[in-house]
Structure 1
Amino acid sequence: MREVSAVKFWILGVAVCCMAVVSATADQIQLTTGETLRGTIVEQSKEHVILNHSVLGLLNIASGDVASVSVVQAAQSEGGSEATGKLAKKPDTGVRQVPGHGSGALPGLFDMEMFENWDIRILMGLSGSDGNSQTSNIRIGLEADRADKHHRARFKSTYNYATSEGETTRNQFNAETTIDWLMPDSPWFSFVQGVYDFDEFKAWDHRVSGFAGFGYEMIMSPDVELIARTGGGVTKEFGGADDLRPEGLVSAGLLRWNVTDRQTVTGEVVFFPDLSDLERFRTIAKVDWQIKLDHQEGMKFKIGLEHEHESFTDGIKKHNDVKFYGTLVVDF
């Protein structure tokens, strides 16, 4: 059993290293919005830069949207240095925009515009022990964001699995999609949100939720973005009481706080009251601290804490679920 666990960790470790090598050897474009795109630069001129992205396909990016370009030479010079070119920066207007929009971006994945200009991240975290006690913990995730002056969209998913002495102690999956419709020259916006949860150790097996409502941008500065949401919807649980109940949603979200050039804090607090029984409710609170790694552009380390409380259980399951985690974040 221990040999099998060791093999699993070796395989996962090799996978992480391979992804790090791929990220380090790709050409990269730093946009004026602060985002980074990686791939193979096909063409570069005074008017534009064409990048072949592994997910988005060919992207035609106007030079005015580019802050810097870093090209990994096929045959590096002595010392293994990279060739880096700087383009003129545009002044920051403070307006959210999709990189490449309005600059003739070529079709991306499957020739569908909906897949273009997403900021995609993969999260990976591993820990374990073997000796007097045998434990293993795995946390993997996929996140994607896209924003322009009319829309803001985010998808995130996370899988957590843990064992202790050969017994499964955690087996969870969460996927969430949120789309905001922004109102020009107004801090108000409308939103829809869909959430799917699986948890082997809850009173239910699967939970599906859908919400809609309005939000307000309380702070939208270059370093801090703080918003609030309120709305309502329904939640359906499977594998337990199998009930369908109306729920409210009230939340405050710290989308971004740039503490320094290399450190960012994000967080969220959400309250879900049961509209059919106000004594029943659930809450979710989370905070993440993300640090850019010094020697790898596009790679970050994230430390996080998440707490979920359910006021109603089956009498056996616990009301509170707390998770601590540390993950490596790879940008694409």
Structure 2
Amino acid sequence: MIIRLSSFPLLMCSSIDRPRTPAPTSGRSPTGHGVYRRRLPGRGAWASFVARYRTLTGRAKARRRPHSPDSASRPDLASRTRGARPLGPITPEGEPMSLLEHVSRPLTGALAGITMIGMVGAAQAQDVVEPPAGNNANAVDAEAEAPPPFLDLTSWDGSVEFGLTGSSGNNERISLRAALGLVRTTEEIESALRIVYRYAKEDGNETDNRLLTTIRNDWLMPDTPWRAWARAELDIDEFQQWDARWSIAGGPGYEAIDTDRTFLLLRAGLGLTQTVGGGSENKITPEGVLGFDFTQKLSERQNIFANFDFFPALDEIGPYRFVAIAGWEILVDPDLNMTLKVGIEDRYDSRPGDGFKRNDFDYYVTLVWSF
């Protein structure tokens, strides 16, 4: 069977715009295999072509329907070809199909399919499975364990230290020591700030006036005894060859002992130092650092501590300095967090300068209030 495609648009428009001639009552059935191959008797040429087109259209769709790949793979298209009115410009019942109906039917089927898909997707979106309670609990725990901001004062532990001694009579003497300490500890970082001020006066003459500021930060490594540390220090002393000395240092640290009662941290590193003012050379000196921090808990109310730092000069062999601190702390009032502190401090410099001693000792007894 041969269909001329060039005649198809004209025939389709004619079937829509012109009333259809009733189907012939004689001859072979339009749905049979022997499609009209001769002009029907008593019909004009135009009516014969229209009848042939209608017959061929219905027959062609009947043959293509079972073999259409789209019909087998797309149920929505297959369903549109079932029933008494298959797609096409002419209906089997002989009713002319309007152009609007001819165009809108495929769109209506497609929109129906899209609507169904949207309804199914919306139903699936509403059917949300709540995560297990454990996940929520872990998220809350992770948020709770997050360290507070560095500048949040509530995350810092502090202490104020004060000691005063004096005498009057044949000799007028007064000695003052005050200190402020701040410590912030998290699982990853330990930060500390300490400011110590000393002042002494005897028979109207000032004998000691010193301000020491130390900042230190330790970066902890979870599940290992190792850490990294860095420290900056500024020492202002009116009774030294220099007016001020600054130093910076840093390096690795190793927790040799870490128990409920004993703690020992070994440190090493490199640093720089410089003395300014007075008779100093204002020279920046590279130096090494070897030291340790030690704490021993004697009882629920007592503990002892010791800190040591050795600074050998690296630009030449010979010069060095060290700082040694030791003390004993006794908790005297748990309700007030009041502690009695007894300590000794020795600052040694192998080259103190002309007229100055190498050792600079400081003994003190102070009360410490922790907050």
TM-score scaled to structure 1, two decimals?
Answer: 0.66
1:278 aligns with 2:312: no
Structure having the higher helix fraction is: 2
- Of residues 295-304 and 230-239 in structure 1, the stretch that sits farther from structure 2 once superposed is 295-304
Indicate the residue corresponding to 1:8 in structure 2.
none
1:161-310 equivalences under 5 Å are 161-239=199-277, 240-254=280-294, 256-294=295-333, 296-310=335-349
Residues 131-168 of structure 1: CA distance to partner in whole angstroms, max 9, x if unpaired? 11110000000011121221111111100000110111
Indicate the residue corresponding to 2:167 in structure 1.
129
Q: Runs of 5+ in structure 1 lacking a partner?
A: 1-99
CA apart distance, 1:315: 1.7
Q: Distance in 1 between matches of 2:154 and 2:189?
A: 14
CA apart distance, 1:304: 0.2
Q: Distance in 2 between matches of 1:267 and 1:243?
A: 31
Q: Which amino acid aligns with 2:165?
A: S
Q: Distance in 2 between matches of 1:219 and 1:291?
A: 23
Indicate the residue corresponding to 1:21 in structure 2.
none
Q: Report if the CA contact (8 A) 2:212-2:234 is conserved.
A: yes
* Higher Rg of the two aligned structures: 2
Q: Distance in 2 between matches of 1:275 and 1:115?
A: 39
RMSD, aligned CA: 2.1
Q: Report if the CA contact (8 A) 2:147-2:186 is conserved.
A: no
Q: Runs of 5+ in structure 2 lacking a partner?
A: 1-140
Q: Distance in 1 between matches of 2:144 and 2:332?
A: 31
Structure having the higher strand fraction is: 1
1:138 aligns with 2:157: no
CA apart distance, 1:194: 0.3
Flag the structure with more relative contact order, 1 or 2, with Cα contacts below 8 A and sequence separation at least 6: 1
Partner residue of 1:321 out of 354, 360, 369: 360
Q: Judging changes above 3 Å, is the alpha-carbon distance between structure 1 residues 324 and 233 closer, same or farther for their aligned structure 2 residues?
A: same
Aligned residues: 229
Q: Distance in 1 between matches of 2:147 and 2:346?
A: 42
TM-score scaled to structure 2, two decimals?
Answer: 0.59
Q: Judging changes above 3 Å, is the alpha-carbon distance between structure 1 residues 101 and 259 closer, same or farther for their aligned structure 2 residues?
A: farther
Q: Distance in 2 between matches of 1:223 and 1:215?
A: 20
Residues 100-158 of structure 1: CA distance to partner in whole angstroms, max 9, x if unpaired? 99548997xxx865534211000000010111111000000001112122111111110
Runs of 4+ in 1 over 6 A off after TM superposition: 104-107
Q: Distance in 2 between matches of 1:176 and 1:313?
A: 21
